[in-house]
Structure 1
Amino acid sequence: MSLDQKFEAAAQAVKGLTKRPTDEELLTLYALYKQAIEGDNNTPKPGLLDLKGRAKWNSWDAKRGTSKDAAKEEYITFAEGLMAKYK
């Protein structure tokens, strides 16, 4: 199975979790997914009143400089940990 196939399988498996991960875990998943798919964050920072948008932006921006393949590998490992914890 290729890295891309493992990544897609992990992304699908996370959607089937029976319990909801913590907000921090969800932000990490989001950041790794965005970094793996789009690369470095180059979007404008959301305004001060958009708390959810800022949290997501900051989380993704913290992964700046991580290659897409490294982000995919990290996502797979993190998702496997969540599946073991929340299934």
Structure 2
Amino acid sequence: MSAPTTTAGAPVAAGSRWPLERVLFLMAGTVTIVSVLLAVSVSQWFLLLTAFVGLNQWLFVAVGACPASMVMSRVLSLQPACERSVR
């Protein structure tokens, strides 16, 4: 009998947590939506927050880490998806 898998084929453990990348996408999307809403309703200067989120996403792609990923991996003990599948 094989272990249950996700739609992507990765194994799912009972009580498993989201991988680091998924949490980063959730946070980046939330901050982007909130900053656009604030730019529309308060001040256009909040679009700088959207630019900051985009720069951090580029940093994560280029280097493999960004400030948010380092904090989440240390404080919340989140692991990247590639390290989770090895175990």
TM-score range, shorter chain: 0.3 to 0.5
Q: TM-score, normalised by structure 1?
A: 0.39
Q: TM-score, normalised by structure 2?
A: 0.39
Instruction: Decide which structure has the larger Cα Rg and report it.
Output: 2
